[in-house]
Amino acid sequence: MENQTDILLLEGLKVPHQSTVPAFILLLLIYVFIMVSNLGLVLLIATERSLHQPMYLLFCNMSVNDAFGASTLIPRLLSDALLPSTERFIPYIDCAAQAFCGHLHASMCHTVLMIMAFDRYVAICNPLRYAAIMTNRMVAVLSAWAWTVSLLLVSILVGLSVRLTRCRWVIFNPFCDNASLFKLSCESVLINNIYGLGYTIVLLGSSLGSIALTYLRIAVVCLSGRNATLNGRALQTCATHLAVYVIMLVSGSVVIILHRFPLLSDQRKLASIMFHVVPPALNAIIYGLQIKVVRQKIFIMFSSKTTTVKC
């Protein structure tokens, strides 16, 4: 039995047999779209010299994190989708690595969006000093801070679960996360629950608090300003950022809420997958269409295709 716990069984989603192939194709297409759109956006910003500005460099951070998060989860789901539910095995070390990467991606979503909120605050509330404050070096420092804090918090979170001895071998989830890891143990998980609660409060509290205060301040500046054009541009940029934040927050909150209803376990599993699929797919669209160069390239691409069809 001790050896069996080194190989775990993923319960996965209960997909009807006739829907397995369509579900596989749909998930594969979504994954390809996520990778192409996010990495394409990173490549465009890296090669277009006019986009070497703080706001766009922060977009790169978000896109890299989204591609990383999707790659943590979707390839494994695709490989498991074509297997019988009784044969979806995963080595414990791979499970722990997937849990670590999944939580790192979620944590980075919050820290990167906090930095982006700070960037918008400086740009709108202190525009004359924006170039002096938000230099490329400052962006690099803030990005390093975001990754370092996330790595530290998640390392402790997952490390507390990995230290536990295991007496179970079934993961009641489509993929591995921290809760799945410590539920494999028959030991007391009080420390895990306390740290997990503190981790959530610190991360979510910092994220919600900083973004709420930032945008309240921005709203005051916009309402007191008399330049309608500048206010319109500022609100458009902020609306984009808030849309991304709300999508991430709603996706994560649905999973947390469904945890309270054991009878809705299948819906919770689906929602947990959507958290790693929907935001990465939408973020590249939302941010990409905000960049004029991206819109122009898309317009040129579609115009050339239309011309070819007519010919």
Residue-wise pLDDT tens digits, 52-103: 888 888 888 989 999 999 999 999 999 888 888 788 899 999 999 999 999 9
Nearest of 19, 9, 59 to residue 39 by alpha carbon: 59
Gap between the Cα atoms of 84 and 16, Å rounded: 11
pLDDT band at 153 (very low <50, low <70, confident <90, very high): very high
- Given a cut of 60, whether residue 156 has pLDDT beyond it is yes
DSSP string across 53-70:
SHHHHHHHHHHHHHHHHH
Please give the pLDDT value at position 33.
Answer: 94
Please give the pLDDT value at position 66.
Answer: 92
Top pLDDT among 48 and 36 is at: 36
- For residue 122, give Cα distances in angstroms to 55, 83, 104, 214: 11, 51, 27, 10
β-strands 170-171, 7-10 pairing = parallel
The residue written with tokens 């790659």 in the block is 71
**Taking all residues of the chain, what is their mean pLDDT, rounded to a whole number?**
84
pLDDT band at 148 (very low <50, low <70, confident <90, very high): very high
CA 145 to chain CA centroid, Å, is 17
8 A C-beta contact, residue 106 and residue 70: no
Query: What's the rounded mean pLDDT across residues 117-133?
Result: 87
Least confident of 109-123, 189-203, 207-221, 234-248: 234-248
Nearest of 244, 45, 209, 227 to residue 124 by alpha carbon: 227
Nearest of 97, 257, 111 to residue 177 by alpha carbon: 97
**235-280: per-residue pLDDT in tens?**
666 777 777 788 888 877 777 777 667 777 778 888 888 888 888 8
